[in-house]
Chain A
Amino acid sequence: MTFDPMKFVENLPYILKGELGTFIALGIIALSVVILNKVSHGDDDDVA
């Protein structure tokens, strides 16, 4: 185990990449659900 504070700065872009990736994935899923809800409305519905 070593201590290299510069690594923190070097790896900061991963915060952006990681959060962006997570938001994109969940955004696509949320959008798909919205479309599915519209398309399948009234078909065997149950209340959530």
Chain B
Amino acid sequence: MSFLYENLFALTWQQVTMWVIGGILIWLAIVKEMEPSLLLPIGFGAILVNLPFSGAVSQYISGIFQEGPLSTLYDAGIANELFPLLLFIGIGAMCDFGPLLANPALMVFGAAAQFGIFITFCLASMFFATNDAASIATIAAADGPTAIVVAQKLHSIYLSPIMVAAYSYMALVPIIQPPVIRFLTTRKERMIRMDYEPKSVSKLTRILFPIIITLVSGFISPASVSLVGFLMFGNLIKECGVLRGLSDTAQGAMANMITLILGLTIASQMQAEQFLKPDTLIILGLGLFGFVFDTAGGVMFAKLLNLFLKKKVNPMIGAAGISAFPMSGRIIHKMGLKEDNQNFLLMHSMAVNVSGQIASVVAGGLMLSFFL
């Protein structure tokens, strides 16, 4: 029985705090249904790695090195950026760029909504070294894989809180965005209707689009070419029409598998002694700041455009320019319906949302170009 007491007495209050954090993430996943595929593995993993002498992570016990499976997964798939990039193939295969291709002008909103990344970088640089500040700012991209790749390439020492913040905030988009949008817009603005005229998009356009994006991004930001390339490769698989099996696998089984492993692996970095630091709280705060200013950047840009446009746009669609796809697009659509039950913004907001997916990768790549 002595081993039981030994393990029990080795428990620290920091580990118990991490159990509570893990419990909250599981609660959000199950009860609130917020990104359950990510928050549930992260939450469970946070408990798993914070048991005294947890065999899930590598550690020295009595001077003997014992390898843990989650640490092995981390080295195999996150330390070399492999998992986030593979996940990007799945995301690319899920994205339907059709509404955006039919109305390419909407891409400007995706660009505008990256404002939060760059302002957060300025703010973070007051507290952290430049490489860490740039990595922290990428949390605002609302794009977990991009945040991981940028933090890895810039050798940030804050990779674990950055990963956790990026994925947790992605799940909290339905809570973070609506109050910011309501604060920045009037009811009259939120009720602006936007007509949607279905336009035809040729198969050639759909096939050449991912190739063009890869080429353009490669020239503007060569450091981001793996990010953009994997995302666009996934989309090309979907749009080429001759690889239906691969496309189904990429957006289904493969994306689910990687998400599952990624969530647990992220949790391997949530050990209490690494995670519970004042720096982590500041990083979480900066991530939230970035999300708010990304949303605000998109909305304010739409309002600015409305000063010059004859046919006004609903400024709420600007907020969909963050990368959290498809949540952000759906939220804007729901907010539009709430103000006016005949205001269907879905096609516009989804188009802006996929442009945000591209823009966030470009912005992440620019961060790498500036500081790598």
Contact A26 B203, CB 8 Å, known A12-B122, A18-B367, A19-B114: no
**Across the interface, do B126 and A7 meet the contact criterion of CB distance under 8 Å?**
yes
Residues of B within 8 A of A4 (CB): 126
Q: Does B127 touch A at the CB level, under 8 Å?
A: yes
Residues of A within 8 A of B370 (CB): 14, 17-18
Residues of B within 8 A of A30 (CB): 104-105, 107-108
**Across the interface, do A25 and B199 meet the contact criterion of CB distance under 8 Å?**
no
**Across the interface, do B367 and A5 meet the contact criterion of CB distance under 8 Å?**
no
**Across the interface, do B128 and A1 meet the contact criterion of CB distance under 8 Å?**
yes
Residues of A within 8 A of B345 (CB): none
Other-chain contact of A26, B128, B209, B355 (Cβ < 8 Å) = B355
Other-chain contact of A32, B122, B198, B216 (Cβ < 8 Å) = B216
Q: Does B243 touch A at the CB level, under 8 Å?
A: no
Q: How large is the interface on A (under 10, 10 to 19, 20 to 34, 35 or more residues)?
A: 35 or more
Q: How large is the interface on B (under 10, 10 to 19, 20 to 34, 35 or more residues)?
A: 35 or more
**Across the interface, do B201 and A48 meet the contact criterion of CB distance under 8 Å?**
yes
Contact A26 B204, CB 8 Å, known A3-B127, A7-B125, A21-B362: no
Q: Main SS of the interface on chain B?
A: helix
Other-chain contact of B200, A8, A25, A29, A41 (Cβ < 8 Å) = A41
Residues of A within 8 A of B205 (CB): 33, 36-37, 40
Residues of A within 8 A of B114 (CB): 18-19, 22
**Across the interface, do B108 and A23 meet the contact criterion of CB distance under 8 Å?**
yes
Q: How far is the CA of A2 from the CA of B279 in the complex (A)?
A: 11
Q: Give residues of chain B (175-207) contacting chain A, Cβ–Cβ below 8 Å.
A: 198-205
Q: How far is the CA of A44 from the CA of B202 in the complex (A)?
A: 5
Residues of B within 8 A of A29 (CB): 104, 107, 212-213, 216, 358
Q: Does B117 touch A at the CB level, under 8 Å?
A: yes
The 0/1 profile, CB within 8 Å of A marked 1, for residues 107-144 of chain B is 11011101101110111011110000100000000000
Interface residues of B (CB under 8 A from A): 96, 98-102, 104-105, 107-108, 110-112, 114-115, 117-119, 121-123, 125-128, 133, 198-205, 208-209, 212-213, 216-217, 220-221, 278-279, 282, 355, 358-359, 362-363, 366-367, 369-370
Interface residues of A (CB under 8 A from B): 1-5, 7-8, 10-12, 14-15, 17-19, 21-34, 36-37, 40-48
The 7 closest A-B pairs by CB, nearest first: A48-B98, A45-B200, A40-B202, A18-B118, A44-B203, A33-B104, A30-B104
Q: List 13 A-B contacts (CB under 8 A).
A: A1-B279, A8-B122, A11-B121, A18-B118, A19-B112, A26-B110, A26-B355, A27-B107, A31-B104, A33-B104, A46-B98, A48-B102, A48-B201
